[in-house]
Amino acid sequence: MSTWFDESRLDDERALASIDLRLRSLAESGARVRRESHDAEAATAEAIARDREAPQPRAVIAAGPDSRLLRAVLEPRCPVPFVAWPGPALPGWAGSLDLVVMLAPEGSDTGSASAVAEAVRRGAQVVVACPPTSLVAEHAAGRYTTILPTVTGDQLATAVVMLDYLEQVGLGPRADSESVATALDSVATSCSPHRDLAVNPAKMLAIALADATPVVWGGSVLAARAARRVAESLRRSSGRSALAGDAEHLLPLIEATRQRDVFADPFADDGGELRPLLVVLEDGSDDPVVREQRGRLQAAAASRGVRVESVAAEGETEVARYASLMLQGTYASEYLRLGLVDD
pLDDT value at 270 more than 90: no
Is 44:163 a contact under the CB 8 Å cutoff?
A: no
- pLDDT at residue 263, as a whole number: 61
- Scored b (16 or more CB within 10 A) or e, 280-312 reads bbbbebeeeebeebbeebbebbeebebbbbebe
Lowest mean pLDDT among 17-31, 235-249, 250-264, 298-312: 250-264
- pLDDT at residue 314, as a whole number: 86
- pLDDT at residue 194, as a whole number: 93
Confidence of residue 342 (pLDDT cuts 50, 70, 90): confident
- pLDDT at residue 265, as a whole number: 57
**C-alpha distances in Å from residue 256, one per residue of 244, 251, 301, 308:** 16, 9, 10, 16
Which residue has better confidence, 270 or 43? Answer: 43
pLDDT value at 269 more than 60: no
pLDDT, average across residues 208-226: 95
Confidence of residue 62 (pLDDT cuts 50, 70, 90): very high
Q: Give tens-digit pLDDT for 293-332.
A: 999 999 999 999 999 999 999 899 999 999 999 999 999 9
The string of DSSP codes covering 49-74 is HHTTTSPPPS-EEEESTTHHHHHHHH
Q: Which of 24, 29, 283, 22 is nearest to 181 (CA)?
A: 29
Query: For residue 181, what is the enclosing H or E element?
Result: helix 177-190
Confidence of residue 339 (pLDDT cuts 50, 70, 90): very high
Q: What structural domains does the chain harbor?
A: 3-29+180-261+270-342 (3.40.50.10490), 57-170 (3.40.50.10490)
pLDDT, average across residues 82-103: 92
Burial class (CB in 10 A: 0-12, 13-18, 19+), 196: exposed
Q: Which residues neighbour 195 within 8 Å (Cβ) at sequence distance 6 or greater?
A: 189, 203
Cα 253 from chain centroid? 24
Rounded distance between C-alpha atoms, residue 261 and residue 306, angstroms: 12
DSSP summary character for residue 151: -
Confidence of residue 268 (pLDDT cuts 50, 70, 90): low
DSSP summary character for residue 198: G
Residue 31 identity: A
Is 140:154 a contact under the CB 8 Å cutoff?
A: no
Is 120:132 a contact under the CB 8 Å cutoff?
A: no
Query: For residue 103, what is the enclosing H or E element?
Result: strand 99-103
pLDDT value at 223 more than 70: yes
Rounded distance between C-alpha atoms, residue 86 and residue 40, angstroms: 24
pLDDT value at 89 more than 70: yes
Rounded distance between C-alpha atoms, residue 72 and residue 69, angstroms: 5
Is 306:254 a contact under the CB 8 Å cutoff?
A: yes
Q: Under DSSP, is residue 112 helix (H, G, I), strand (E, B) or coil? A: helix
Helices (H), 51-148: 67-74, 110-121, 135-140
Q: Which of 254, 257, 329, 320 is nearest to 293 (CA)?
A: 254
pLDDT value at 260 more than 90: no
For all residues of the chain together, what is the average pLDDT? 92
Q: Give tens-digit pLDDT for 126-148.
A: 999 999 999 999 999 998 999 99
pLDDT value at 267 more than 60: no
Rounded distance between C-alpha atoms, residue 302 and residue 149, angstroms: 49
Rounded distance between C-alpha atoms, residue 222 and residue 81, angstroms: 19
